[in-house]
Structure 1
Amino acid sequence: MSTPYDIPEVLDRREGPYGEVVLRRHGGLLQIIANGCFLMDTSDGRSERLLVDAALASLDASDTRAGHGPRPDPRVLIGGLGVGFSLAHAAAAPRWGRITVVEREPAVIEWHRAGPLAEFSARALADPRAEIVEADLVAYVHETSDTFDALCLDIDNGPDWTVTEGNDGLYSAAGLQDCARVLTPGGVLAVWSARPSADFEETLRNAGFQQVRTEEIPVARGVPDVVHLAVRPG
């Protein structure tokens, strides 16, 4: 017998600067859809938490290799607000200093500030360390004069599976040079992906990053999600 939860309920649908974005409820889950492409939902958050934890662990390891202790109050840039799991997890960790989230969709920001997604991020958004910047991440890392100790990027389904064509540039040699420019020496780049990408690992190395590795995130079925990790030389 069918139930009302078999059909997703659209809570909001908007035409944003980069196409259509939809927030819908499917059973007990909230889902974000961009231009018909499923981005993420509130089912787990394990991937988003690992993205932040892996970046911090790699940053500490990088500092240890450089011969000094963990840096105090490291600054993190989170690319993509999504359903708020990465932001909330970073804000729950006292180690992080400034937490900057770059999100290009005004609707997503509003859903967090005054909509259904507030339950996942309200406490984090009230944290004085946290700020949301409404901007396209590719343009932001190209233009900003700010620097960060870690970049945690989760704006696509991976380097080989982007949401919009413009995002391709972020994973190119030029885009990775921009990422390196805004990273402090020994800083860490962490990129979430729905599947491993040997080509992206090679591009990271060719762009001058060191300690390139891929950490798997177990899933119930299919190919594991991954986090690509790389360190800017000191």
Structure 2
Amino acid sequence: MLPWIELATAAAPQGDTLRLFRRGDEYSIRLGGGNELMNSRLGGSEEALATLALDRIATKGAPRVLIGGLGMGFTLRAMQAVAPHDAQLIVSEIVPDLVDWATAHMSAVFGTCLADPRVEIRTGDVGDEIRNASGAFDAILLDVDNGPDGLTRTDNDALYSNTGLRAARRALSVGGVLSIWSAAPDAAFTKRLSRCGFAVQEQLVRAGRTRRGPRHTIWTAVRDGP
């Protein structure tokens, strides 16, 4: 078996180290000593994050979408494949090095997707993007951590709190959707979404594209009413 080769490292916001590895045509991003955050062969659930959200806003013209977290670009590329030509796809990534890795080390994974005129990359905290917006987005897609049970940044907990969810609701247009990826189900979080004014659907999706791999959770939460 081919060995893993470390290609690059980056500082995560709270001082941890992100490490990029390659083995043949497979890539892995890991936290610290080896906890794998993402793998280029397991992007099925991240892709579902995009397709399930767009299904909910299919009737909206020129949709404006905020994607929290670039990662390996699974969610972005899935959104590009189904979004109309006049969509605006804004990606907020807090670690600038991950944007550099996309072209410097993972061009085989990303291809030319970042050159799409519909795409805008913003380096910064997606929480700030949400808090500073009012009715600005038709969809907000969050894949910034392990989900409500944060792993890489305790600050991400604010995204999933009552205050954070209400801010996300304000940032959405009426009928807009908040779509959230999680490594595991969370019944209490489903109830919290409902309390914060969303019509919620929770789905289990395979990590692999061939119905293999672990099951991940996707919440699609629609903003109803004013």
Match of 1:226 among 200, 217, 220: 217
Q: Given residue 28 of structure 1, which amino acid in structure 2 is its aligned partner?
A: D
Number of residue pairs matched by the alignment: 218
Output the aligned Cα RMSD.
1.8
What is the rounded CA distance, in whole Å, between the counterparts of 2:220 and 2:61 in structure 1? Answer: 21
Q: Unpaired runs of 5+ in structure 2?
A: none
C-alpha contact (below 8 Å) 1:24/1:32 kept by paired residues: yes
C-alpha contact (below 8 Å) 2:134/2:172 kept by paired residues: no
Q: Deviations over 1:87-145 (max 9, x none)?
A: 11212224260000000001101111x31222332422111110100011222212346
What is the rounded CA distance, in whole Å, between the counterparts of 2:128 and 2:183 in structure 1? Answer: 23
Q: Unpaired runs of 5+ in structure 1?
A: 61-69
1:54 corresponds to 2:56: no
87-96 or 132-141, which moves further after superposition? 87-96
C-alpha contact (below 8 Å) 1:162/1:168 kept by paired residues: no
Per the alignment, residue 201 of structure 2 pairs with 213
Per the alignment, residue 87 of structure 1 pairs with 76
C-alpha contact (below 8 Å) 1:33/1:40 kept by paired residues: yes
Match of 1:101 among 91, 101, 108: 91
What is the rounded CA distance, in whole Å, between the counterparts of 1:54 and 1:100 in structure 2? Answer: 18
Q: Percent identity?
A: 36
What is the rounded CA distance, in whole Å, between the counterparts of 1:49 and 1:221 in structure 2? Answer: 14
Question: Taking CA–CA contacts closer than 8 Å with sequence separation of 6 or more, which of the two structures ends up with the larger relative contact order?
Answer: 2
Greater gyration radius: 1
What is the rounded CA distance, in whole Å, between the counterparts of 1:76 and 1:145 in structure 2? Answer: 13
C-alpha contact (below 8 Å) 1:85/1:120 kept by paired residues: no
Alpha-carbon spacing, 1:195–1:178, altered in 2? closer, same or farther (3 Å): same
Per the alignment, residue 12 of structure 1 pairs with 8
What is the rounded CA distance, in whole Å, between the counterparts of 1:171 and 1:162 in structure 2? Answer: 13
Secondary structure, in 3 states, of the residue corresponding to 1:92? helix
What is the rounded CA distance, in whole Å, between the counterparts of 2:202 and 2:8 in structure 1? Answer: 36
Matches within 5 A, 1:1-234: 3=1, 5=2, 7-19=3-15, 20-36=17-33, 37-60=35-58, 70-95=59-84, 97-112=87-102, 114-144=103-133, 147-210=136-199, 212-219=200-207, 220=212, 222=214, 224-234=215-225
Calculate the TM-score normalised by the size of structure 1. Answer: 0.86
Alpha-carbon spacing, 1:145–1:185, altered in 2? closer, same or farther (3 Å): closer
Q: Given residue 217 of structure 2, which amino acid in structure 1 is its aligned partner?
A: V
C-alpha contact (below 8 Å) 1:88/1:120 kept by paired residues: no
What is the rounded CA distance, in whole Å, between the counterparts of 1:187 and 1:104 in structure 2? Answer: 24
Alpha-carbon spacing, 1:54–1:172, altered in 2? closer, same or farther (3 Å): same
Per the alignment, residue 65 of structure 1 pairs with none
C-alpha contact (below 8 Å) 2:183/2:217 kept by paired residues: yes
